[in-house]
Amino acid sequence: MSVLDELTASLPDGVVVTDPVLTDKYRFDRAADPGAGTPLAVVRAMSTEQVQTALRWASEHRVAVVPRGAGTGLSGGSTALTGGIVLSTERMRDIAIDRLSRVAVVQPGLLNAEVKQAAAEAGLWYPPDPSSFEICSIGGNVATNAGGLCCVKYGVTSDYVLALEVVLADGRALRLGGPRLKDSAGLSLTKLFVGSEGTLGVVTEVTLRLMPPQPPPRTVVATFADTHAATEAIVAITSTLRPAMLEYMDRTTVNAVEDHLRMGLDRSAAALIVARTDTEGSTADRELAQMVAAFERCGAGEVVSTDDPAEGEAFTLARRQAIPAMEKKGKLLLEDVGVAVPRLPALVSGIEAIAAARDVTIALIAHAGDGNTHPLIVFDPADARAAQRAQTAFGEVMDLAIELDGTITGEHGVGRLKQPWLAAQVGDDVIDLSRRIKAAIDPLGIMNPGAVL
Amino acid sequence: MSVLDELTASLPDGVVVTDPVLTDKYRFDRAADPGAGTPLAVVRAMSTEQVQTALRWASEHRVAVVPRGAGTGLSGGSTALTGGIVLSTERMRDIAIDRLSRVAVVQPGLLNAEVKQAAAEAGLWYPPDPSSFEICSIGGNVATNAGGLCCVKYGVTSDYVLALEVVLADGRALRLGGPRLKDSAGLSLTKLFVGSEGTLGVVTEVTLRLMPPQPPPRTVVATFADTHAATEAIVAITSTLRPAMLEYMDRTTVNAVEDHLRMGLDRSAAALIVARTDTEGSTADRELAQMVAAFERCGAGEVVSTDDPAEGEAFTLARRQAIPAMEKKGKLLLEDVGVAVPRLPALVSGIEAIAAARDVTIALIAHAGDGNTHPLIVFDPADARAAQRAQTAFGEVMDLAIELDGTITGEHGVGRLKQPWLAAQVGDDVIDLSRRIKAAIDPLGIMNPGAVL
């Protein structure tokens, strides 16, 4: 019996998939890492016990394990490795909601939108909202510490994770944290596992804090004739109030979205900002007035407010569709760089300078209110020199973020594509410490090798 | 030259203190651990470099290091060890605030109240508010992941720490995180160090997220003739809205505070709840009405609302003075147990049963809105049998919390006094994993040995 047959025999039929037609779909995540390998097998686990079985086998035979949620990762964290297995949690999809504690216990394969939906049916709200929320899994959200549009006021995935069940490389299943809102008992292992991108173990259950429903938002949209004025308006707003959303799109993305959705966006604007408050009554009036005043003071062209949630939602949809719309324009290198908000103007103008110097198109969208931008480098993959220039610009954008005391990734994770830049951001001592922690948890180094560290 | 002389010679005059009259003050924190030892010396560092010098020396000579902030810890996390040094950060007190980024960069010795004050002077707000905020240091808050009264809406210390400078046992100084609101770059070491109680290294600088000022709160106070009804009201409120404060005091604490402050509290009430909203206008009206309705539905005696911030603050002060007021009644064993809010009624009635069975007085105050209670076991230290019964009850309260899927500490930390109960809460595998992580960071085991693990 081969080593792989041993694994297949130890799990129910259909869990271990080796047919290349099927396994090929698990080679790449949305980052389409050109270095993707061909996995030995894909394990589509249906339970914690099956994950344990797979990891015990992997430890015994020192086989690399790439954990995978919905495969929507943007940094190559789920790129398959030749000779390794892909451990997919897509079939682990249970959810239980406790209304009184405002807590959801979720398996990792459930999509973010399905968690939101289940919460809404219980009269509650799960805030984190990556733009890909309809197709990304909650397990992947935990692995990357995913963010989204409402994070500027409501925080990221880590802020909602009260507890995890994780399976370690050696097959042990551990419960970290619990359904308590406050807990200072021992090292914060729950927080350590959030954002660890499958390098420490496999998340098999997540306990999420839920919120009472969000009040109906009020939206204000502003256009700007130059990007610097737009980013100055962002700084003016965030230094005095906490909007429920503060999103930015530049001309290239506005036009791509308009090509895609035909919703009547102003194609001539250099930048468009979508801002929201979800406060109520006089507070909302005051916050909207403050935002409008900041836009006008910074020289906005058009400023439009709406109390109609549907109209406000249309602008949010436009923002959410920016990446799919840009994907129609060519091959993308997706960045996720972030800085302290006052450095946003310098980051945006620096990115424009890189685009000019390297003769590449860099479309820019941003969760501007928390300084997290997504420069999208778009190029024709058939043009080798353009692809090379895009790759150079990709690195230079991260170098710029690091120079501005920023981060190479705000919410997508390091994966494999940004791994070469991590040390420049955090320093060799932090890399060394991270490696020592990784080795303490995964001594054989089988968990997602090559990702992050 | 003795080993200690070597340390003294390597640091400026006055940094290394060996005079027993002075060092005696550093043997205990507020937990008054009877097992406290006599330290070799107290190092009152004034800079990161001095902390590095001390830790390099401690590593070289394998001397245990007990980091210490203001010494207000309630779990014995800063109990001195015979043959070890106490490393005090009380003299590291700089702060710099950046208004535009809403960030404070603070040295660990600054008091929580001083951080709040500096933030307020910049027109900003630092939310975490332990009852001891006027005497506890921000470094200690980070070490224990301290909470407070506003956490029910605004989260705990960890939610505000964007970055840390830490000195490891080997003397290396590392920067973890940065002044970015979102950051998925590498393992979340910042979050791992928060709450690690000095077992992983010494925090020498903290970067804190600040908020726009809190709107003026509106307060509602309710009294109850029985504690069960009061805790049911807590559950009713937290399952539907997010108050800015939801505090609980039982009859024993109400009477102790009344003895102390003479402010006219109802001494006959079995329980008193102080609730707050800091929303504005019609939202505040709605939330106050919901809270009043919940109190009345659960059978409250008196329910009093006030829009006067000073009057509301008087009730908050009463709650904050509960521990000092109880300290006048005898020796205290301070608990910090927490559960999911729906289990609060079971926790409170279980604690009452333990008090009755062991014939000890257990006063109970609680950050009830997040299920975090402080049972205060009060006894006459001169009565050996009473002290023994108190000690038994102390353990039984933690056993009860664990049985209810709760935590032995919500915000005070494990320290030395709760260390024997940690494994029962988190399990042997989590203890093993925590020890491996600790060993990866502090291989010689010199950082606060005996605390937590």
* Residue B353 near residue B362, CB atoms below 8 Å: no
Nearest alpha carbon to residue B187 among A370, A436, A163, A149 = A436
Of B181, B370, B410, the CB nearest to A370: B181
- Give me the amino acid identity at A318: A
Residues B244, B156, single domain; the answer is no
- Determine, yes or no, domain membership for A364: yes
Residue A284 belongs to a domain with what CATH number? 3.40.462.10
Residues A163, A106, single domain; the answer is yes
The reported pLDDT for the residue numbered B447 is: 98
- Cα–Cα distance, B324 to B296 (Å, whole number): 31
Q: What is the secondary structure of B150-183 as a DSSP string?
A: THHHH--GGGGEEEEEEE-TTS-EEEEE-S-S--
- Determine, yes or no, domain membership for B451: no
Q: Is B423 helix (H, G, I), strand (E, B) or coil?
A: helix
Name the H helices within A127-250: 138-144, 151-154, 189-193, 227-238
Q: Which residues of chain B have pLDDT under 50?
A: none
Residues B388, B299, single domain; the answer is yes
Residue A218's φ and ψ, nearest 5 degrees, are -115, 140
- Determine, yes or no, domain membership for B233: yes
Residues B83, B115, single domain; the answer is no
**Token pair belonging to A344:** 């946003």
Q: At what angle do helices B281-297 and B227-238 cross, to 10 degrees?
A: 150
Residues A377, A340, single domain; the answer is yes
Residues A106, A249, single domain; the answer is no
- Determine, yes or no, domain membership for B172: yes
Residues A128, A161, single domain; the answer is yes
Of A184, A195, A212, the CB nearest to B412: A184
- Cα–Cα distance, B419 to A165 (Å, whole number): 23
The reported pLDDT for the residue numbered B281 is: 87
CA distance A399 to chain B (A): 14
Of B102, B179, B339, the CB nearest to A239: B102
Vertex A48: Cα angle to A47 and A52 (nearest 5): 120
Q: Is B265 helix (H, G, I), strand (E, B) or coil?
A: coil
- Cα–Cα distance, B286 to B330 (Å, whole number): 43
List per-block mean pLDDT (blocks of 10 residues) for chain A, which spans 453 residues: 94 97 96 95 98 98 98 97 98 97 98 98 97 97 97 97 98 97 97 98 98 94 97 96 97 96 95 96 93 98 93 92 94 96 98 98 98 97 96 98 98 97 98 98 98 97
Residues B100, B190, single domain; the answer is yes
- Decide if A186 and B158 are in contact by the 8 Å CB cutoff: no
- Determine, yes or no, domain membership for A436: no
Residues B237, B378, single domain; the answer is yes
- Determine, yes or no, domain membership for A124: yes
Residue A280's φ and ψ, nearest 5 degrees, are -125, 165
**Token pair belonging to B67:** 């980091």
CA distance B386 to chain A (A): 28
**Token pair belonging to A214:** 């969000």
Residues A40, A175, single domain; the answer is no
Q: Which helix (H) or strand (E) holds A306?
A: strand A303-306
Residues A177, A254, single domain; the answer is no
Q: What is the pLDDT of residues A307-348, one digit of tens each?
A: 998 999 999 999 999 999 999 999 999 999 999 999 999 999
Count of A-B CB contacts under 8 Å: 282
- Cα–Cα distance, A135 to A70 (Å, whole number): 7
- Write out the residue range of the structural domain in which residue A38 sits: 3-88
**Which residues 241-270 in chain B show a CB within 8 A of chain A?**
241-242
Residues B386, B327, single domain; the answer is yes
Which residues of B fall within a CB distance of 8 Å from A239?
Answer: 99-102
For chain A, how many structural domains are there in total?
3
Nearest alpha carbon to residue A146 among A248, A73, A213 = A73
Question: Is B447 part of the contact surface with chain A (CB cutoff 8 Å)?
Answer: no
Question: Is B157 part of the contact surface with chain A (CB cutoff 8 Å)?
Answer: no
Vertex A199: Cα angle to A391 and B430 (nearest 5): 155
Q: What is the pLDDT of residues B127-180, one digit of tens each?
A: 999 999 999 999 999 999 999 999 999 999 999 999 999 999 999 999 999 999
Domain boundary among A403, A429, A444: A403
Q: Locate tokens 């926790």: which residue? A: B347
Which residues of A fall within a CB distance of 8 Å from B372?
Answer: 180-182
Residue A42 belongs to a domain with what CATH number? 3.30.43.10
Give the C-alpha distances (Å, rounded to integers) separating B261 from B84, B265, B324. Answer: 41, 9, 11
The reported pLDDT for the residue numbered A327 is: 93
- Determine, yes or no, domain membership for B443: no
Nearest alpha carbon to residue B287 among B307, B314, B313, B309 = B307
Of A192, A340, A413, the CB nearest to B184: A413
- Determine, yes or no, domain membership for B428: no
* Residue A251 near residue A315, CB atoms below 8 Å: no
Residue B162 belongs to a domain with what CATH number? 3.30.465.10
Give the C-alpha distances (Å, rounded to integers) separating A132 from A141, A253, A412. Answer: 10, 16, 11
Q: What is the ipTM of this complex?
A: 0.97
